[in-house]
């Protein structure tokens, strides 16, 4: 899922400027699960804004990143001075696509694609590099989980199975070794991985995907 963190409230207030009538728009998908921008958080922010003197209301849609979910909100959006979107950056941009003249502000910082490892704790798991090779590494992505994104073995700096860059995280290559050992596939580690082609990732520019059979 996409993980985000709420922006500091003073930053949100600065963005709002002279706006008086504000709609706080939550998203019912990823940011609800990471407890940043769901219905509950939208209500809380709207409440805080009302205490601050704004005429604020909140609303949550199933997915802010899909136009069909936010088209029905056009009139509601037009009736306010500003919208604080608690969705990820995709949701904020989708709102701009339906009303580019409105003051729409991001209420959260979109941070990474990750998973809830335990209650109240999320960790990055995928960079979206566009060329998945997780199966070669026993189910642990070295691109994301190794601080140095190494593909041909550990850097040698880990200590007690922990990363030398971020000592509170497991060393990805320790996990890879442990998993492959369990699979009785340590021989896979002998294969030399070629330099990664980063053109499929963000470095290749703005990406897109098309399903010709689904186009109207």
Where do contacts with other proteins occur on this chain (CB under 8 A)?
8-10, 13, 40, 43-44, 47-48, 50-52
Q: Report in angstroms how near the CB of residue 122 gets to other proteins at its nearest.
A: 17
Handedness of CA 91, 202, 176, 146 (dihedral sign): negative
Q: Report in angstroms how near the CB of residue 29 gets to other proteins at its nearest.
A: 20
Q: Report in angstroms how near the CB of residue 44 gets to other proteins at its nearest.
A: 6
Q: Report in angstroms how near the CB of residue 10 gets to other proteins at its nearest.
A: 7
In the bound state with other proteins, the residue whose beta carbon lies nearer, of 107 and 138, is 107
In the bound state with other proteins, the residue whose beta carbon lies nearer, of 18 and 212, is 18
Spell 89-124 as b/e; 16+ CB within 10 A means b.
Answer: ebbbebbeeeeeebbbbbbbebebbbeeeeeeebee
CA 180 to chain centre: 29
In the bound state with other proteins, the residue whose beta carbon lies nearer, of 28 and 142, is 28
Q: What does the alpha-carbon distance between residue 169 and residue 199 come to, in Å, rounded to a whole number? A: 28
In the bound state with other proteins, the residue whose beta carbon lies nearer, of 11 and 81, is 11
Answer whether 27's CB lies under 8 Å from 64's CB. Answer: yes
């Amino acid at each position: 899922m996409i993980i985000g963190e709420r922006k500091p409230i003073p930053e949100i207030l600065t963005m709002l400027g002279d706006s008086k009538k504000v709609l706080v728009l939550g998203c019912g998908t990823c940011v609800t699960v990471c407890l940043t921008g769901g219905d509950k958080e939208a209500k809380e922010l709207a409440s805080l804004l009302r205490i601050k003197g704004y005429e604020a209301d909140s609303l949550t849609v199933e997915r802010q990143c899909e136009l069909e979910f936010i088209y029905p909100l056009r009139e509601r959006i037009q009736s306010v001075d500003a919208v604080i979107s608690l969705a990820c950056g995709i949701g904020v941009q989708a709102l701009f696509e339906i009303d580019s003249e409105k003051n729409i502000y991001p209420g959260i910082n979109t941070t990474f694609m990750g998973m809830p490892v335990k209650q109240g704790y999320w960790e990055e798991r995928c960079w979206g590099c566009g060329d998945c090779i997780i199966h070669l590494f026993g189910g642990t992505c070295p691109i994301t989980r190794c601080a140095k994104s190494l593909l041909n073995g550990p850097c040698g700096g880990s200590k007690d199975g922990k990363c030398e860059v971020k000592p509170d995280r497991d060393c990805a290559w320790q996990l890879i070794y442990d998993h492959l050992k369990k699979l009785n596939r340590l021989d896979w580690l002998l294969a030399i991985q070629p330099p990664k082609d980063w053109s499929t990732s963000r470095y290749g520019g703005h990406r897109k995907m098309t399903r010709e059979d689904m186009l109207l």
